[in-house]
Amino acid sequence: MHEADRSPPTEQYMITKEYFHIDGQWVAPQGKGAIDVFSPTNGALLARVPRGSVADAEAAVAAARKAFDAWAATPPARRAELLKKIQEGLKTRTDEIARAITLEMGMPYKLSQRIQVGSPTATFGMYARLLGDFAFEEQVGNSKVLREPVGVVVAITPWNYPLHQIAAKVAAALAAGCTVVLKPSEVAPLNAFALAEIIHEAGVPAGVFNLVTGFGPEIGEALVTHAEVDMVSFTGSTAAGKRISQLAANTVKRVALELGGKSAGIVLDDADFAVAVKGVVGNCYLNAGQTCTAQTRLLVPASRYDEAARIAAATAAEYRLGDPMEPGTTIGPLASKMQQDRVRDYISKGIAEGCELLAGGASLPEGLPAGGYYVAPTVFGRVDPRATIAQEEIFGPVLSIISYTDEDDAVRIANDSIYGLSGGVWSATDARAESVARRLRTGQVEINGGPFNIYAPFGGYKQSGNGRELGKYGLEDFLEFKAMQFKPPPKAA
């Protein structure tokens, strides 16, 4: 490993990554440019990573293609051993990687340890366990049905939960027997380099995992259009997902998309409002609202709107906005200046369209680090369901409270969206909440605050994407079916 690539993340000096991981080696990029990574805490230059070229994309795909046959033939038990080693490597470096993610994208450090590193660590372990009894073949009448790896997979991942999204794709693809080329977000790439080091040290065969960095229109599109790539798994904006689908169509490769969301948290009239409203606010503000499953629409009965508005505004005021490395911070900065400007623009639109500002807005508390990408936790009330802030994904700490007349009206409003990724229903009983949840056109629904489950399928309806990640469902997304028909034995005379 080169010394420049082993520098631990720190605020004192810029981190430089000079090499890609291709075909089991750390190699100099063929592209000559670099990408600057800025600290969301104060806007300072944090790191510099290589700007990959078409030639780098071709080299990474060639390495993955060369390694595919041997890796696909590797027994599942051996693949499981290597996934377990990767899990152990992540555990060993939890604090370091959590700190790097906090510095590059802004989630408070304590949350980064538990969520940004804890979740992907568990995901690698989960797939190691699933391989123990997963049926890669079964007998169906006179046919033997095989599940075989789809081939070379390109994984393009976002910045909001960078390592979690990498693990959801890479761990499942490796478990399935696929080889991988990873292009992480250029906004938060440092965690991907740490994972590449761990995979290298675990002894994963050369070419099975390859890492390149760069911009989407350059190296990203070169990867998506490459004839030797069999599948693209992408998490990001709906606009980028549509572009990837168009590009991939020319070679008819499989495309899995995890895109945007505008999820509704429905609080029914019999719910405990003190618990339920606070729960939806917390869901909305997790990771400064930069969560695709964030319940950014709080749906409450019109008869109890005032109570819900008071609780939501008071809950928002309890959040401490600040430096994500400070122990008392509960909500950090947004990941980029572009994101900060985008969210502020949506707040202005909400005010211009007549929504009632109950908390937050454009003003910021004193004492924040200068130059940071901060937005105050914001609550809008009396929001029309067709308002811009109620229809478009904001990706920031902005909650819209919408009132409904009855249960049918709540379901109608919740489903009135181009998205269908997640949601929540709160009631005095799980049974009533479930009856409403069954009517929602969305991929996941939290029942009375039920926690995230990495063994359950993750993905969305409508323009939230297609395909599923996590659990056995995520493994199956990276598999092809092959049916072999055998001639039945002759019948006895």
Measured over all CA atoms, what is the biggest interatomic distance in the chain, rounded to whole angstroms? 92
Which bin fits 288, alpha (ψ -120 to 50), beta or left (φ > 0)?
left
* pLDDT for the residue 147: 98
| pLDDT of amino acid 13 | 54
Share of the chain above pLDDT 70, in %: 97
Per the annotation, the verdict on 284 as an active-site residue is: no
The mean pLDDT of 238-261, rounded to a whole number, is: 97
Residue at token pair 């323009």: 463
Closest CA to 190 of 266, 88, 112, 258: 112
Q: Is the pLDDT of residue 94 over 80?
A: yes
Contact 121, 455 (CB under 8 A): no
Q: Averaged over 172-189, what is the pLDDT? A: 98
Residue 159, SS3 per DSSP: coil
What would the pLDDT profile of 340-369 be if each residue is shown by its tens digit?
999 999 999 999 999 999 999 988 989 999
Query: How far is the C-alpha of 358 from the C-alpha of 383, rounded, in Å?
Result: 11
Placement of tokens 């995230």 in the chain: 452
Q: Is the pLDDT of residue 7 over 50?
A: no
Query: Per DSSP, what are the bridge partners of residue 446?
Result: 424
Dist. CA 270–CA 410, nearest whole Å:
14
Ordered by start, the domain boundaries in the chain are 3-259+466-481, 263-454
Query: Quick one: pLDDT band at residue 31, thresholds 50, 70, 90?
Result: confident
Percent of the chain at pLDDT > 90 equals 95
Q: What is the pLDDT of residue 490?
A: 86
| Distance (Å, whole) CA 248 – CA 251 | 6
Cβ-Cβ contacts under 8 Å for 86 (sequence gap 6 or more)? 124, 171, 195, 198, 199, 202, 204
**What's the pLDDT tens digit per position in 273-302?**
999 999 999 999 999 999 999 999 999 999
pLDDT tens-digit map of 317-348? 999 999 999 999 999 999 999 999 999 999 99
Residue reference for tokens 């990959």? 52
pLDDT over 80 (residue 143)? yes
Give pLDDT, residue 97: 98
Our answer to whether residue 258 is catalytic in this structure is yes
User: Across residues 440-449, what is the average pLDDT?
Assistant: 98
Q: Give me the pLDDT at residue 491, please.
A: 85
Q: Which CATH number fits domain 3-259+466-481: 3.30.360.10, 3.40.50.280, 3.40.605.10, 3.40.190.10?
A: 3.40.605.10
| Topology given in CATH for the domain delimited by 263-454 | Aldehyde Dehydrogenase; Chain A, domain 2 (3.40.309)
Is residue 114 a contact partner of residue 287, using CB atoms and an 8 Å limit?
no
Annotated active-site residue in 104, 186, 197, 258: 258
User: Quick check: 72 pLDDT over 90?
Assistant: yes
Catalytic residue chosen out of the listed positions 178, 292, 446, 469: 292
Q: Please determine, for residue 1, whether its predicted confidence score (pLDDT) is greater than 60.
A: no
Q: Is the pLDDT of residue 102 over 80?
A: yes
- Whole-angstrom distance, CA of residue 72 vs CA of residue 208: 10
